[in-house]
Amino acid sequence: MMMEHLLTWMIFAPLAGAVALLFVPSREKAVIKTLAAVTALVPIVLSVPLFLRFDRAEAGMQFVEHTTWIPDYHIEYFLGVDGLSITMILLTAALGLICIIASWGIDKGVKGYFPLFLLLESGMMGVFCALDFILFYVFWELMLLPMYFLIGIWGGPRREYAAIKFFLYTLAGSVLMLLVILAFYWNSSVALDDATRADLARVGYTEGHFAAARAEGGWRSFDLTRLSEMSLLRHRMRQSKGEIPLDAAGPVSARTGALAEEVQTRYGRIPLPEWLGGDLMLTFRMLLFLGLFIGFAIKVPIFPFHTWLPDAHVEAPTAISVILAGVLLKMGTYGILRISYPLLPAEAVLFCGPLALLAVVNMLYGAFCAMAQTDLKKLVAYSSISHMGYVCLGMAVLTRTGLNGGVLQMFNHGTITAMLFLLVGVIYDRAHHRDINGFGGLGLRVPIYTGITAIAFFASLGLPGLSGFWGEAFVFLGTWEVPAFRGYALAGVFGIIVTAAYLLWTLQRVFMGKLNEKYATLEEISAREMATLLPLLVVVIVVGVYPNPVLSLIQASLNDMSDVFLWLRSQGGV
């Protein structure tokens, strides 16, 4: 029971915990915190079988749960995991518990904080598991609300401003996504032959639905896998003016090979709708791509949509900053990889140049901004912008190495930046300020804290032997592979130098030199704080030495995706 519905349990266990917490009297703060921690433990426990049973050679979806939700409109409850999402799910599960432990010090409105946090975790899990466009959107929006309250109620002095800014920015992006969802749905149409019908009948559709769909001229779908198949197919149809040549320029991977056969048997020769042909439609599809891109870019955040992030980070409580940087930012890049790329592959090839440019701008702009900061948290926030630039660059090159590097960097940045924010939280709880120039010489006073911070900083700047290195290395390797992008690779390497400069300079200002007398009695890191940092530290070092366990998780799916792009590029024009 539990194993069959593993993903459902992972998504809804936190939600159930949140509901249960509402029935605990608000004065029982310790009970609420413990119960929240126990609830957050459930996804971690469940992620063990997920990790162990995940078939690393399989490129497609695993642990699939697929049933109808609103059958009349073909909205489905469709969950699944592939190499792209599994690392994000593991990261979310881990950070969920870590953040609850990190929030132990919360004393105000405990009964509000922990249920909202668990609701947030449910939403995040849902986003990474959902394979139905509507389901994805619902989870995506579900996260906004708890995040608004968590920043707005438990945040710093300018929390109200930061909370609504975060909300407005993200909502502006997601309404664009909604528009694209609707456009996709109403323009999707799959021929209903026997194979498709058998497939759909397994999900739970009945003859009545098929009859209705036939009357409308085809099966409309919110199913992301079906939509992506359809996009590839349409691309082939456009290129061949309605006929599908199976022999010429065959697809390169097994999956697209299978697709080509399916095209023959399943779709036959659907008359090509007129709007698929002309240039106008290219514009339309480009608009769809841009709409999705802006929606996701706000979340990443990609320059120039990044201005909400420093505000939100600085005002959010420590644990929420961790979630924000560790998981929420990844949703932007995840969305591009999960939705934009598969649904609009040809447009992805078309737009990869501008995306790479924006990625490099992100890297350099984020790094320079970070250098100028005197607030430690703001520095980490800008370093996040810079590091998400590496992810985007990896995604923009569309090659195997680049995509793998980008997703690896997503995971690594999630762990490293979580450490950085936790570390900032530790010092802020003691000193009650975050002014980089207001410390000095702490290294001797708090050696353990200093050591962990140094490791986290080195991991962040990509020192070999720590996890940050691998993601960046693969990204640059991948970028160098594409001759047109070599300039970006060089600019990116320059970004690493700037990153090293601001991180080392910060280390020097905070931990070295003469001890600031104000902090002569600064306390060393506590056991609880250690408990939040240690698991992340282990991951950073282990993955740094031996990245294969993570890399092998993501490889199959991403190689498959990059093969599609390789094939598209070999075809020439869009």
Per CB under 8 A, residues contacting other proteins are 69-70, 72, 109, 137-138, 141-142, 144-145, 148-149, 152-153, 159-160, 163-164, 167-168, 171-172, 175-176, 178-179, 182-183, 185-187, 275, 284
Residue number with CB closer to other proteins (144 or 361): 144
Q: Which is nearer to other proteins, 153 or 496 (CB)?
A: 153
β-bridge partners, 130: 79
| C-beta closer to other proteins: residue 30 or 168 | 168
Cα separation, 167 vs 173, in Å, equals 10
Cβ atoms of 61 and 86 within 8 Å: the answer is no
Extract the tokens encoding 448: 């353990």
Residue 58 or 160: the one with the smaller Cβ distance to other proteins is: 160
- The CB-of-275 to other proteins minimum distance in angstroms stands at 6
CA distance 306 to 284: 26
Residue 41: partners with Cβ closer than 8 Å, 6 or more residues away: 97
CB 466 within 8 A of CB 458: yes
- Report the alpha-carbon distance of residue 217 to residue 271 in Å, rounded: 11
> Within 10 A of 164 (CB to CB), how many other CB atoms are there?
14
30 versus 70: smaller Cβ distance to other proteins? 70
DSSP 35-94: HHHHHHHHHHHHHHHHHHH--TT--S-EEEEEEEEEGGGTEEEEEEE-HHHHHHHHHHHH
CA distance 266 to 9: 35
Measured from the CB atom, the residue of 272 and 515 that comes closer to other proteins is: 272
Cα-atom radius of gyration of the chain, to the nearest Å?
24
Gap between the Cα atoms of 85 and 81, Å rounded: 6
Q: Closer to other proteins by CB, 161 or 494: give it.
A: 161
- Residue 171 CB, shortest distance to other proteins, in Å, is 5
CB of 109 to other proteins, least distance (A): 8
Between CA 568 and CA 249 the distance in angstroms is 10
For residue 284, the minimal CB distance to other proteins (Å) is 8
The neighbour count for residue 504, using CB atoms within 10 Å, is 14
Q: Provide, rounded to whole angstroms, the least separation between the CB of residue 333 and other proteins.
A: 22
In angstroms, give the least distance from the CB of 317 to other proteins. 14
**Min separation Cβ 176 and other proteins, Å:** 8
Q: CB 218 → other proteins: shortest distance, Å? A: 13
- Identity of the residue, 145 or 477, whose beta carbon is nearer to other proteins in the bound complex: 145
Provide the CB-side half-sphere exposure for 307 (13 A, CA).
6
